[in-house]
Amino acid sequence: MPDAAFEIRATPTFRDLQGRFARAHAGLLADRLPLVRELGRRFVMLAQEEAPGGPGRTVARQIGFRTFNDGDAVGFRTALGPIAKYHVYGTGIYGPRGVVIRPRRARALHFTVGGREVFARFVRGVRPSPMLGVAYRRWLPGARESLRRIALRYVRTFKGESQGGAL
């Protein structure tokens, strides 16, 4: 399974060469990291609302994000705990391997669902949840303005105009 199920990457469309390119690039890397963190926090909040059980439950608590700075790109990617990964990618016949889940060291699986104790010889697994896609569709309309500010700041600095204040 991939480490990040969702990733936002802001990459300039050209390499920084010298002069205005370098100033625009350096300024943008420094200025856009707090904005990227804000966008990441908002995405995680929405993803936690969409998680099975809602915010504060096991799956929601395992959804987070990490910012990154890979040379010319700054962004964030989701960080999912093991249970959240199971819900995002699916398990059992619904997951990557497509086989039922059977016990390895016992005669039966033993778990609790909704306060009810369950014993089973096998289970089909968990269907993949569209929670990150739904969260993204809710996140994007509010994020467009911030993403536009990042892009405009880069263009203004490149053209030698005033930077227009902080992002």
Q: How far apart are CA 38 and CA 42, in angstroms?
A: 6
Residue reference for tokens 């880069």: 154
Residues 6+ away with beta carbon under 8 Å from 142: 42
**Mean pLDDT estimate for the chain:** 82
Instruction: Give the C-alpha separation, 126 to 46, whole Å.
Output: 21
Query: What does the pLDDT average to over 83-87?
Result: 93
With tokens 């099975």, the residue in question is 52
Q: How confident is the model at residue 29 (pLDDT cuts 50, 70, 90)?
A: low
Asked if 21 contacts 158 with a C-beta cutoff of 8 angstroms, the reply is: yes
pTM higher than 0.85 for the full model?
no
- Of the candidates 87, 100, 158, 155, the one whose C-alpha atom is nearest the C-alpha of residue 127 is 87
pLDDT-based confidence at residue 21 (cuts at 50, 70, 90): low
**Portion of the chain with pLDDT greater than 90, in percent:** 47
